[in-house]
Chains A and B, each alone.
Chain A
Amino acid sequence: MTELWNALPLVIQILLKITAILLPLLGLVAYYTYAERKVIGYIQIRIGPNRVGWRGLLQPIADAVKLMMKEIVIPTKADKTLFLLAPMIAIAPAMAAWAVFPFDEELVLADINAGLLYILALTSLGVYGVIIAGWASNSRYALLGAMRSAAQIVAYEIAMGFALVGVLVAAGSLNLGAIVAAQQGSLLTWFWLPLLPLFGVYLISGVAETNRAPFDVAEGESEIVAGFHVEYSGMGFAVFFLAEYANMILIAALTSLMFLGGWLSPLPQAWVGDLWLLGDGFHWLLLKTFFFMFVFLWLRATFPRYRYDQIMRLGWKVFIPITIVWILVVALAVVYRLPPWWSA
């Protein structure tokens, strides 16, 4: 089997690996939308979708078929090229970021040194999809959504970048695999504890960066209808939807990688050894990711939408100072080798 694999040309090997990452990801995205409707339904004491398939399990398939069948309407006087390009620009970075994502100690498509930087650069590109969609639609509501989104994402990207600088100082590397390796130990040696403020800032900035409630002013259906994608129908809309959920999964996975030790087991190696599922493994990463994915839904069901000026205040006046102070704290802790995290 390995011989057959090695006999394949490199391009084919890489393409197969990409398929192996993207297919489960898209499946997860589809069922994440179902989970969202179910979870929020139960939180609000409703049932949620329950008509298609057993307990509504085929609902995402039905939605996908519906969206594919729908006509794509292009508004008059819209910039047609950019209008059609925008959903692709939105989804491409959300998919491409997974290229450097390590699922396990060895299981990574491209093990590059500046992995963290690459992911930060790619997630910052997603905003172009939103802005271009808003502008190309030739609609006031869409343009307003795009403006809000641009200002918000630039504000929170700085806080997010600073939080990641803290992680990079703590781990001493930009490589995602090395960041996880630096958290080796147990639940208490993971970075969430020494970097607790940065952990909070990163998670909340992640919610803001993906334009999710309570930071969803770019959509703000009660104020500007559906914001930047108000003119999109059918697959155009579906692709924006896919991009948003793929980004949420990415943020959830990255948070568990950088602050909750990725695939590391919460129990010390000395206690469990390689005992079946208690040892390190991909399932821990999956579990942690699912937890944060649930947090995204939980937040949406719990909080009302932030007002625009409050969002700006939180980003610029609260998060950025917190991160700057904590980077200093982490740097001092690393220099003075604060145990147990940096005693080695």
Chain B
Amino acid sequence: MGFEKFLFYVFALITLWAAGMVITRRNPVHAVLFLVLAFVSSAALWVLIEAEFLGIVLVLVYVGAVMVLFLFVVMMLDVDLAALRAGFIRALPLGLLVAGVMAVEIFLIVGPANFGLEAFPPPDAAPADATNTRDLGILLYSIYIYPVEIAAVILLVAIVAAIRLTLRRRPDNKSVDPARQVRVKKGPDRIRLVKMAPEVEEPFGASPTTESGETS
């Protein structure tokens, strides 16, 4: 237990430190990278509480995909930091108020009264061969089937909306249609043969006295 506890504190400290850096770094790219570090170390924390599946999925989805896109956007944008910081002092009291309300709310729900060791005694360690992928799958697709389906539909709506927002026809945009390109046949689609009268060009350096036939 001792070594596990030590690991917990190491990862917890890294998570907190990285999260603090996220909001204090001046450079937005550094902030995003610290956010990645925070995700990775919280994934490690999840693995420590035997939620291996969730821990790996956190790395896979958030670090591997979401944050890559996030980083992509942040690198492309030229964020004007001065403008971002201009209203800092003015907005500080309101921000502190909101943060305080949120902290109290979180405390009311997940405080020791509801989530303390009295309410939830620590579970026994699962045997080494327990697969929490299977357990999680069975739970998700039996008891929690409606929430899963509803979440899926909400995501689908979001996808459709996002595609609709970005989809615009631009008639002046010259683009190729790969489906039509693939269908091109060897014969008349590629080459058009034209019949025309032969043209004879003046040979270079030919003297004007030589007969050059009828010139066009």
Distance in angstroms between the alpha carbons of A82 and B37 in the assembled complex: 14
| Residues B60 and A117 in contact, CB atoms below 8 Å apart | yes
Query: Which of A50-58, A123-131, A195-203, A332-340 lines the interface with chain B?
Result: A123-131
Stretch at the interface among A146-154, A235-243, A322-330: A146-154
Q: Specify which chain B residues have a CB less than 8 angstroms from the CB of A13 in the assembled complex.
A: none
Q: A135 vs B33: C-alpha distance in the bound complex, in angstroms? A: 12
* Cβ contact of B64, chosen from A82, A157, A174, cutoff 8 A: A157
Contact (Cβ within 8 A) B63 A125: yes
Interface pair A120/B68, CB less than 8 Å apart: no
Cα A114 to Cα B131 with chains together (Å): 8
Q: Give the docked Cα–Cα distance between A82 and B29 (Å).
A: 11
Residues of B within 8 A of A128 (CB): 36, 68
Mark contacts of B102-125 with chain A using CB atoms, 8 A cut-off: 1 yes-contact digit, 0 otherwise.
Answer: 000000000000000000000000
Interface residues of A in 96-140 (CB under 8 A from B): 112-114, 117-118, 120-121, 124-125, 127-128, 131-132, 135
- Is residue A95 within 8 Å, beta carbon to beta carbon, of the partner chain? no
Considering the chains assembled together, what is the distance between the CA atoms of A128 and B35 in angstroms? 13
Q: Which of B12-20, B71-79, B148-156 contacts A (4 or more CB under 8 A)?
A: B71-79
Which one of B51-59, B81-89, B93-101, B186-194 is at the interface?
B51-59
- Is B69 engaged at the interface, CB distance under 8 Å to the other chain? yes
A146 contacts which chain B residues (CB < 8 A)? 75
A250 within 8 A of B: no
User: In the bound complex, do residue A121 and residue B53 qualify as a contact, i.e. CB atoms below 8 Å apart?
Assistant: no
Q: Within 8 Å CB of A154, what residues of B?
A: 65, 68-69
- In the complex the two chains form, is B64's CB within 8 Å of A121's CB? yes
Tell whether, in the assembled complex, residue B72 and residue A150 are in contact, meaning their CB atoms are under 8 Å apart: yes
A147 and B72 form a contact (CB under 8 A)? yes
A131 touches B72 (CB 8 A): yes
**CB closest residue in chain A, given B72:** A150
B60 touches A150 (CB 8 A): no
Is A118 a contact of B56 with CB atoms below 8 Å? Answer: yes
Q: Return the contact of B63 from the options A124, A132, A151, A161 (Cβ within 8 A).
A: A124
Interface range for B: 20 to 34
A117 contact from B36, B57, B72, Cβ within 8 A: B57
- What's the least CB distance linking B112 to chain A, in Å? 32
- Does A143 lie at the interface of the complex (its beta carbon under 8 Å from any beta carbon of B)? yes
**Of B33, B69, B133, the contact of A174 (CB 8 Å cutoff):** B133
A120 to B64, CA, bound (A): 9
B208 in contact (CB, < 8 A): no
The residues of A that contact B33 with a CB separation of less than 8 Å are: 82, 132
* B29 / chain A contacts, CB cutoff of 8 Å: 135
Q: Is B178 an interface residue (CB 8 A)?
A: yes
A310 interface hit (Cβ, 8 Å): yes
Digitize B179-205: 1 where CB-to-A-CB distance is under 8 Å, 0 elsewhere: 000000000000000000000000000
List the B side residues contacting A174 at CB < 8 Å: 131, 133
Please give me the residue from chain A that is nearest to B36 by CB atom. Answer: A128
Residues on the A chain within 8 Å of B64, using CB = 120-121, 124-125, 127, 157
Contact A121 B75 (CB under 8 A): no
Asked if residues B63 and A117 are in contact (CB atoms below 8 Å), the reply is no
Shortest C-beta distance, B201 to chain A (Å), equals 35
Q: What separation, in Å, do the CA atoms of A174 and B36 have in the docked complex?
A: 25
Cα distance, A112 to B132, chains bound together (Å): 11
**Inter-chain contact B60/A143, CB cutoff 8 Å:** no
With A124-B60, A124-B64, A124-B65 known as contacts, the answer to whether A131 contacts B71 (CB < 8 A) is yes
Instruction: Say yes or no: is A313 at the interface (Cβ < 8 Å to chain B).
Output: yes
Contacts of B59 in A (CB 8 A): 121, 124-125
Whether A153 lies near B68 (C-beta < 8 A) is yes
Is A114's CB under 8 angstroms from B52's CB? yes
Least CB distance from B18 to A in Å reads: 15
Residue of B nearest to A85 (CB): B33
Task: Contact check, A114 vs B53: say whether CB atoms are below 8 A apart.
Answer: yes
Could you say which residues of chain B place their CB within 8 Å of the CB of A125?
A: 59, 63-64
Identify which of residues 59-106 in chain A touch chain B, using a CB-to-CB cut-off of 8 Å. 82
> In the complex, which of the residues A113, A117, A118, A127 contacts B68, with contact meaning CB atoms closer than 8 Å?
A127
- A158 / chain B contacts, CB cutoff of 8 Å: 65
Query: A124-B64, A157-B64 are contacts. A150–B71 as well, Cβ < 8 Å?
Result: yes
Task: Find B56's partner among A82, A117, A147, A153 (CB 8 Å cutoff).
Answer: A117
Most A C-beta atoms less than 10 A away, residue of B59, B68, B69: B68
Q: Tell me the complex Cα distance, A157–B67, Å.
A: 14
Supply 10 A–B pairs (Cβ within 8 Å), ascending by A: A117-B57, A121-B56, A121-B57, A124-B60, A125-B59, A127-B68, A147-B72, A147-B76, A154-B68, A313-B178
4 shortest interchain CB distances as A-B pairs: A124-B64, A121-B60, A121-B59, A150-B72
Query: Which residues in A have some Cβ–Cβ distance to B below 8 Å?
Result: 82, 112-114, 117-118, 120-121, 124-125, 127-128, 131-132, 135, 143, 146-147, 150-151, 153-154, 157-158, 161, 174, 310, 313
